[in-house]
Amino acid sequence: MRKIVFDIETRNTFQEAESNDPADLDVSVVCIYDEATDTYSSYIQEDLPKLWPIIEQADMLIGYNSDHFDIPLLNKYYPGDLTKIKSLDLLKEIRQSLGRRIKLDDIAEGTLGKNKIAHGLEAVTWWKKGEVDKIIKY
């Protein structure tokens, strides 16, 4: 089973888009880990056509809040329907198990002993400054 772990950062905020719909945002960078090849890669919005063949080979997409945020956002760029690929949304699983949401930063600290190095709003600022490498590292 080929699993792709992925995360998306955006070029804008919900406030700037004047919407609460993730599909109204614009992708800055999609970062993935491909379990089958044990590799990490990243794609800016303009390079998404290079990502589609990898996604299409996936048996499962894994993310954090991905069913609500990442998949609907990425689906607006994809020529097919990403909801047809099995997904594992870790936040959804945690919420079902514990009855509440937990911040990804708290999960990272509790499991890895490390905090996230930034937050999503900083990634938007980095995009506007042209600091794509910072977004990819985050």
pTM > 0.85: yes
What domains lie within the chain, and their CATH numbers?
3-90+119-137 (3.30.420.10)
For 20-62, the pLDDT digits (tens) are: 999 999 999 999 999 999 999 999 999 999 999 999 999 999 9
Q: How far apart are CA 21 and CA 51, in angstroms?
A: 23
Within 18-119, where are the H helices? 48-56, 71-75, 90-98, 104-112
Evaluate whether 26 touches 92 at the Cβ level (below 8 Å): no
Q: How far apart are CA 11 and CA 33, in angstroms?
A: 21
pLDDT of residue 11: 97
